[in-house]
Amino acid sequence: MNSASEDVPADTVRDENLLNLIGLTRTELTEAVAKLGVPERQQRMRVGQLWRWLYNRGAASFAEMSDLGKELRLRLAEGCSIERPNIAQTLHSTDGTMKWLLRLADGNEVEMVYIPDLDHGALCISSQVGCTLNCRFCHTGTMPLVRNLTAGEILGQFMLARDCLDDWPNPDGHRKISTIVMMGMGEPLLNYDNVAQALNIIMDSDGIALSRRAITLSTAGLVPAMERCGRELRVNLAVSLHAVNDEVRDQLVPLNRRHPIAELIQACRDYPSANNARRITFEYVMLQEVNDSLEDAHELVRLLHGLPAKINLIPFNAWPGAPYECSSNNRIRRFASVLNDAGFAAPVRAPRGRDIMAACGQLKSASKKAPAVKRKGRRANTAGG
Ligand code: SAH
């Protein structure tokens, strides 16, 4: 294994009485400064200053917020914190991919991955600890607990990655993290409110100011929330389709039993970006002799007809005890060529960070020394990227 791994103490002391400012909306921040005794006429200005320190410059302490006044800085330091998740482990792949195992305040762990590409890169962040969807091909994290991440924990991942990559403002505006993909652990649309709050802060033009076009949210197909996501957030959409008929998709993605393919595809057609010819990404995991026949490829073309779509073919990232195998290169190539001939871009996702187990869930499992056997019942969702 060619990766460098460094373990850092993850349990720095936290004072639970401190209010973490990361992830608060402007309204919540205003309430916080009001509680600290900032008079009403100053609150707007103070919140604006704080916002820029936190999200424009990435300040990690109140001491550096020079224009806030000494008195306020002291009161902030006494009652508030600026907290990112703790790093339990950092892994560097030989291909530049980086992966972090993050420990949250309650001891739960999630993963985050940075995938560089020439002069920029994508950050893959998690939305839940564990997942309730039980997709059959998804690596078992054997995580008994499932909970939503808070807005602060979702946003905190991004802030932490910028710290680690030294990616806070620089004069030429160059960004190492140029895109965010909500493709880590969990189903983001099952944690809609917190995901939306974090993304709205990330998109806020006075702060981090990442464009909605630079953000992609991936869903297993929670149809009702897709509509809301399109209306309110208008970020790029990725859909984990993985099968072209309900019989197979019911097996692979049990959520399909609630929201079958026809309903899902209609929700994609109704998604605002589809009207603007911003393409929707369809993720399709390649499982040998399960969903990878030529008939499947032709059916996929038929299903997506008229949609501005791009299809990401993901070679199955096998895990010990998995009930599937990855399709052969030959079958993947034949599948892709049917899609290409029909005019669809269908890149085969290149495996990245294999030497550091970049498919989400695997690092966490290793950390817990969890048995890698398939368990009945609840399983953790893991990104297979
Ligand atoms: N719950 C969301 C976000 C997870 S994104 C969703 O389902 O879209 C992670 C992507 O990797 C999903 O498309 C998921 O289906 C896929 N994936 C999960 N395990 C995988 C594996 N072992 N091999 C390949 N892809 C996998």
DSSP per position, 223-235 = HHHHHHHHHHT--
Mean pLDDT of all residues in 364-384: 40
Measured between alpha carbons, how far is 215 from 203 in angstroms, rounded to an integer?
9
The residue type of 37 is G
3-class secondary structure, 52: helix
Q: What is the mean pLDDT of residues 306-320?
A: 93
Q: What is the mean pLDDT of residues 111-118?
A: 93
pLDDT of 364: 62
Lowest mean pLDDT among 187-201, 218-232, 264-278: 264-278
- Which candidate in 83, 109, 111, 283 is catalytic? 111
Q: What is the pLDDT of residue 350?
A: 81
Instruction: Give, for 26, the enclosing helix (H) or strand (E).
Output: helix 26-35
Question: What mean pLDDT comes out for the span 53-63?
Answer: 96
Separation CA 252–CA 290 (nearest Å): 10
Q: Can you tell me the distance from the alpha carbon of 43 to that of 47, in angstroms, rounded to the nearest whole number?
A: 6
The CATH code that applies to domain 19-81 is 1.10.150.530
The predicted pLDDT at position 277 comes to 73
Which pLDDT tens digit goes with each residue over 142-157? 456 789 999 999 999 9
Given pLDDT bands bounded at 50, 70 and 90, which one contains residue 320? confident
Rounded distance between C-alpha atoms, residue 383 and residue 358, angstroms: 9
Whether the CB of 314 sits within 6 Å of ligand 1:
yes
356 vs 234, higher pLDDT: 234
Mean pLDDT, the chain, integer: 88
- Catalytic-residue membership of 360: yes
Q: Is the pLDDT of residue 141 over 60?
A: no
Q: Where in the chain is the domain with CATH 3.20.20.70?
A: 86-356
Count Cα atoms within 13 angstroms, Cβ side, for 385: 23
**Pocket-testing residue among 240, 241, 382, ligand 1, by greatest number of atoms within 8 A of Cβ:** 240
Per-residue pLDDT, averaged over 157-182, amounts to: 90
Inform me whether the pLDDT recorded for 385 exceeds 60. no
**Which pLDDT does position 306 carry in this prediction?**
93
CA of 292 to the centre of ligand 1 (A): 17
Residue to probe by mutation, ligand 1, list 126, 134, 135, most atoms within 8 Å of CB: 135
Sheet holding 120-124, edge to edge: 4-7, 86-92, 98-103, 109-117, 120-124, 179-182, 215-219, 236-240, 280-286, 309-315
What is the rounded CA–CA span in Å between residue 224 and residue 216?
A: 18
Residue 357 clears pLDDT 80, i.e. is over it: no
Stated pTM of the model: 0.90
Q: Where are the domain boundaries for CATH 1.10.150.530 in the chain? A: 19-81
Contact by Cβ (8 Å): 98, 92: yes
For residue 203 the two structure tokens come to: 């998109």
- Are the CB atoms for 185 and 111 separated by under 8 Å? yes
Q: Indicate the CATH number for domain 86-356.
A: 3.20.20.70
CB distance 381 to ligand 1 below 6 Å: yes
**Tokens 């010990």 belong to which residue?**
320
